Each structure stands twice: as structure tokens, then as C-alpha cells.
Amino acid sequence: MELLKQRILKDGIVKPGGILKVDSFLNHCIDVGLYNEIGKEFRRLFDQNDITKILTIEASGIGIACVTAQYFNVPVVFAKKSISKNLDGDLLVTQVKSFTKGTVYDVIVSKRFLNSSDNVLIIDDFLANGMALQGLIDLCNKSGAQVAGAGIVIEKAFQNGGKIIRDMGIRVESLARIASMDANKVVFED
Amino acid sequence: MELLKQRILKDGIVKPGGILKVDSFLNHCIDVGLYNEIGKEFRRLFDQNDITKILTIEASGIGIACVTAQYFNVPVVFAKKSISKNLDGDLLVTQVKSFTKGTVYDVIVSKRFLNSSDNVLIIDDFLANGMALQGLIDLCNKSGAQVAGAGIVIEKAFQNGGKIIRDMGIRVESLARIASMDANKVVFED
């Protein structure tokens, strides 16, 4: 998606440790016009898939998922990273390892909101090592829902998450795939 | 907002401890069409206010803020509840006490995304004791931004947060104000 790539080149900042900061337009301060274009592009890519639900994970996936859902006319479900008083009843739970924090956390969805009649589009802002995405796929599998695919805004294609998920037979569409990056240059695949 | 009140009466569930579960349409599984109507209503209420930015707090405020921002053509900034590798540079930080968890947590916004030229609409899903909202107001004050007001989806008017915030001189517009609730009945104000 050319508009997104140009924005990353213009406003993205590469920090030591393989960090790409896109917080001025994607995941802290949000350009909602850009989210709209992202949503339209996901609709174009998954137009033939009869999506019934969009699944994402808190926090930065939620806005992208909600804006995208307008183009599919389906509900959004966002997986939670902690049990709250608002979560009760039968829960689907999986464990996700955080490489950056070195911890393992639960990812949780109420059973009421994912089931075997669903055909799910998973949406997230980043795909790097693929741990969060694998967790969301696992929640779909546990619920009996079908995974139509994953729509990712930025894939760090130099990490192995994309390969792992695609090797599982899951369709992954990333709007910007970064082949390499350093403080001077971001290089996209293709 | 009649559509919202009817939805709360139809699908909201009151649990012991003053919990109103609206997770089937507002903050776990999301009816994005309802978010659109909420966004339009916030625009109507704050139409004359020359809003430059919408501020919310992760996680469940983000989707409402993003959909609402489409009706204002302004960016969304969401305050974070923990420091991550993506947060660096000069930060605005305030402390918020969680009554439900009995803890105090930091609420953080990068200084780059709020400043004295901003006229901010704060958006959140719930207003109860008002602690989170006071934190967001404090971040605006620290940045020099003006607070045009707060747009709240559901106010528990039987708790004191709304009074505290309004007594500060802040305009608070809540789309559904709950006067009382128990397992059998939700009663709205007005």
C-alpha cells in the first residue's frame, strides 16, 4: 500500500533494537484518515471471503479493527490481556510470550463472541515474531471459528513470524513489508 | 441518546458490585454501527467547539475515539497505561487510582502529541468515580492544551465522578446517564 509506505518513510523512526516507531500516525497519535485507507485496502483484499467477525488484540489493534469493520459491516471482538471484573463466564484463553518484555501473558476472549459459525479476519498493527497472531489463531481454533486470514499493517519481514504463520496455511496480507531497516533507511520488500 | 439507552436495556447485564456489563456491544464485542451513531452524537454536541484532537485512554476508549474522530476530522491520541519501548522522549505522566483493582497506575502521553495549540475532546466509554477522566484532564493541563469537554458513552450518575468533573468547570456530555441499577432494572436520569 503505497500511501502507507510513503508515510513510514516520511514519519517512521528506526530506533536501536529493531524498533520502528510509527507513533505519530499509527499507534499513539492516530491519523484516522490513514486508518480509513487501511480499512478499504483490507476490504479489497478480503472482499470475497464472507467475513463475519474481525478479531484483534488490545490495545493498538482496536482502532484499526473498528475503522476497518465499517467496510465489512461486521462486529469487532478484541482479545484482552488481563482478566477484569467485566470478564466472566466461559472464556477462551491462550498464552502468548512477549519477546520484548520476556514474559508470558494470557490472551482472553469470551466464548460468547467467537464460535463455529464465524469466519474471522484477524487484524493487527504489527507482525514481527508472530506470537500475538499465533495466540489469536489459537483462540479461533479453540472456538471452532474459521480463520479467513490476517490483515497486518506493518510486517517486519526480516523476522520469522510471517513465515511461521504462512507455513501454517494461514493467509497473511501485510500492507507494508519491511525487508530491512536501520537509522538511515527503511527498505520494503517487492 | 435513545438508541444507546434501548441497547443497554436490551443487552446490558447488571452484576453484583455495581458492574454493568455491556461487553456484547460496547467494550469486548463491538457493534461498530452503534459506534458510528455515538460518534455522530458527539459531533452534534461539540459541533461549535473547534476540536483539534480527541484524547482517550487504552483500551476500550480507543475504538470509540477513532470512529468518533471521523466526524471531526482530527487525530486521536490515546494515553498509555505502561511504558513500552515505543514510548521515549519527553512524556506527560499522571497517576490514576484504580478503585476496582486497588492500585495506582501511570497514564502517559508523549509531549509531542498534546500542546498549547490543542482544543481537546476527551472520549471514554464509562464515567463512574472519574479517576481516569481526571487523569486525562491533568495530562491536558500539563501540556497546556485546552479541554473543550468530555464525551462519555455511559455515566454511572449514582457515583460521584460526574459531579467532581463538572464542579471543576469541565463540560461533560454523557450519552446515557444511569440513575440506579440492579439485577432487575436499569433506570436512566431525565
CA nearest to B63, candidates B114, B24, B87, B27? B27
pLDDT-based confidence at residue B86 (cuts at 50, 70, 90): low
ipTM of the complex: 0.96
A130 within some domain: yes
B190 within some domain: no
Distance from the Cα of B123 to chain A's closest Cα (Å) equals 13
B56 within some domain: yes
Counting Cβ atoms within 10 Å, is residue B190 exposed (0-12), middle (13-18) or buried (19+)?
Answer: exposed
Q: What are phi and psi of A186, to 5 degrees?
A: -110, 125
Residue with cell 488481563: A82
Please give the angle made by the CA atoms of B73, A59 and B21, to the nearest 5 degrees. Answer: 95
Q: What mean pLDDT is predicted for residues B70-79?
A: 98
Q: Which residue has the higher pLDDT, B190 or B71?
A: B71
Q: How far apart are CA A174 and CA A185, in angstroms?
A: 20
A185 within some domain: no
Residue with cell 514481527: A128
| Interchain CB distance below 8 Å, B19 and A86 | yes
A42 within some domain: yes
Distance from the Cα of B105 to chain A's closest Cα (Å) equals 15
How many structural domains is chain B composed of? 1
3-state secondary structure of A8: helix
Mutation site for A-interface testing, chosen from B20, B22, B29 by largest number of A Cβ within 10 Å: B29
Contacts across the A-B interface (CB distance below 8 Å): 122
State pLDDT tens for residues B123-161. 999 999 999 999 999 999 999 999 999 999 999 999 999
Nearest-CB residue to B67 (from A17, A66, A75): A66
- Give yes or no for residue B122 having a pLDDT over 90: yes
Which residue range(s) make up the domain with A76?
Answer: 2-180
The series of mean pLDDT values per 10 residues for chain A, 190 residues long, is 98 93 97 98 97 97 98 98 78 90 92 98 97 98 98 98 98 98 93
Q: Which residue of A has its CA nearest to B12?
A: A86
Counting Cβ atoms within 10 Å, is residue A75 exposed (0-12), middle (13-18) or buried (19+)?
Answer: buried
Nearest-CB residue to A63 (from B21, B76, B86): B76
B186 within some domain: no
A35 within some domain: yes
Q: What mean pLDDT is predicted for residues B85-89?
A: 72
Q: How far apart are CA A110 and CA A188, in angstroms?
A: 37
Contacts of B8 (CB under 8 A, 6+ apart): B20, B22, B154, B176, B178, B186
Chain A residues in contact with B17 by the CB 8 A cut-off are 85
CATH of the domain at B95: 3.40.50.2020
| Interchain CB distance below 8 Å, B28 and A86 | yes
The Cβ of residue A40 has, within 10 Å, a number of other Cβ atoms equal to 15
A189 within some domain: no
State pLDDT tens for residues B17-66. 889 999 999 999 999 999 999 999 999 999 999 999 999 999 999 999 99
